[in-house]
Amino acid sequence: MKKRVMLLLLAATMGLAMMGCQSSDGGDGDKASESNKSQTEENGTSGSNLEGTVTLAAAASLEYAFEEELIPAFEEQYPDVNIEGVYDSSGKLQQQIESGLAADLFFSAAPTQMNALEEEGMIDSDTIVNLLENKIVLITPASSDAEFSSFKDIANAGTIAVGDPESVPVGQYAQESLTNLGLWDTVSAKASFGTNVTEVLNWVAESSADCGIVYATDAATTDKVKVVAEAPADSLESPVLYPVAMTKDVPNQEAARAFYDFIISDDAVSVFESYGFADYRSAE
């Protein structure tokens, strides 16, 4: 119900914005036309004339928020635009974009992948926004009787699920935290490395691993796991940031710009917050 209400609020907010630009009688037609033209020039979009497909390459941890609420809300406002979401680890998405994936937007779970694509000239630098913040947490199966109360207890586990640090941001954060805690060598020796955070979450949910490290937002999507500890603040040098940006050679410029503006809007960020993310802009 909460998510449905948020979706309706988003649609209503966008609808009211459009109504404000429309005339209620023929005498104000010219003024309305000028207002619409001004708004179009300011936003760089053509309003109801937007059409085509926009491809979003986004971290797997963002899939629920986009597919359940944000994409449906945007497509309701722009029925001729189709948002195609491609979700995976940020490292894999980076590789896909480098290999030719025609993504209009990239929403990474860490600055590393965004910075790499920017250095390669594949990201519009002016559009990069560090939008969201997340946390990494230690989880166990909900049915587990194992006594874990802190990140350090992970060393006592028999089987551990962690994202692959080579390509999965949550795995990179886990490696950094556990290294600073002096535990990485112990953990990596008996860890199973997932290809993205969803795989790690599922292994723990299915009791294929005694524990695992995932984002707090992913842990909140299922009652099959329980959070037993959050990574100590001093074990990470920087926050768990999610930057978003448009790519340099955007296939669908106008529709992509409209969707980008929608994603970074306060209304959209409120939806992300309902899924457990924090608005990083307010912390800056």
pLDDT in 10s for each residue of the chain, 284 residues: 444 435 444 444 444 344 344 433 444 434 333 433 343 344 444 446 899 999 999 999 999 999 999 999 999 999 999 999 999 999 999 999 999 999 999 999 999 999 999 999 999 999 999 999 999 999 999 999 988 889 999 999 999 999 999 989 999 999 999 999 999 999 999 999 999 999 999 999 999 999 999 999 999 999 999 999 999 989 999 899 999 999 998 889 999 999 999 999 999 999 999 999 999 987 65
Domain with residue 194: its CATH number is 3.40.190.10
Contacts of 224 (CB under 8 A, 6+ apart): 141, 142, 205, 206
In the chain, the largest separation of any two C-alpha atoms, in whole Å, equals 76
Question: pTM for the full model?
Answer: 0.77
- Alpha carbon 132 to its chain centroid, in Å, reads 8
**223 and 165 fall within a common domain:** yes
Element (H, E) at 81: strand 81-88
**250 and 220 fall within a common domain:** no
**39 and 159 fall within a common domain:** no
**162 and 75 fall within a common domain:** no
**37 and 119 fall within a common domain:** yes
Domain-located, residue 236? no
Domain-located, residue 237? no
**220 and 274 fall within a common domain:** no
Strand, coil or helix: 11: helix
pLDDT of res. 73: 97
Closest CA to 66 of 278, 277, 263, 201: 263
Are residues 148 and 227 in contact, defined by beta-carbon separation less than 8 angstroms? no
**211 and 259 fall within a common domain:** no
pLDDT of res. 251: 83
Task: Dump the DSSP string for 100-132.
Answer: T---SEEE-SSHHHHHHHHHTT-B-GGG-EEEE
pLDDT of res. 93: 97
Domain-located, residue 276? yes
Are residues 90 and 198 in contact, defined by beta-carbon separation less than 8 angstroms? no
Angle at 220 between CA 185 and CA 232, to 5 degrees: 40
Rg (CA), the chain: 21
pLDDT of res. 146: 87
Tokens 């954060």, located at residue: 173
Domain-located, residue 30? yes
State the residue range of the domain holding 151. 136-230
pLDDT of res. 48: 61
**140 and 128 fall within a common domain:** no
Given 186, 210, 230, which residue is the final one in a domain? 230
Partnered with residue 52 across adjacent β-strands are 81
pLDDT of res. 15: 47
pLDDT of res. 283: 64
pLDDT of res. 249: 84
**90 and 115 fall within a common domain:** yes
**187 and 162 fall within a common domain:** yes
Strand, coil or helix: 82: strand
Element (H, E) at 137: strand 136-141
Domain-located, residue 48? yes
Domain-located, residue 161? yes
**182 and 249 fall within a common domain:** no
Domain-located, residue 218? yes
- Reading the block at residue 206, the tokens are 């299915």
Domain count for the chain: 2
**115 and 140 fall within a common domain:** no
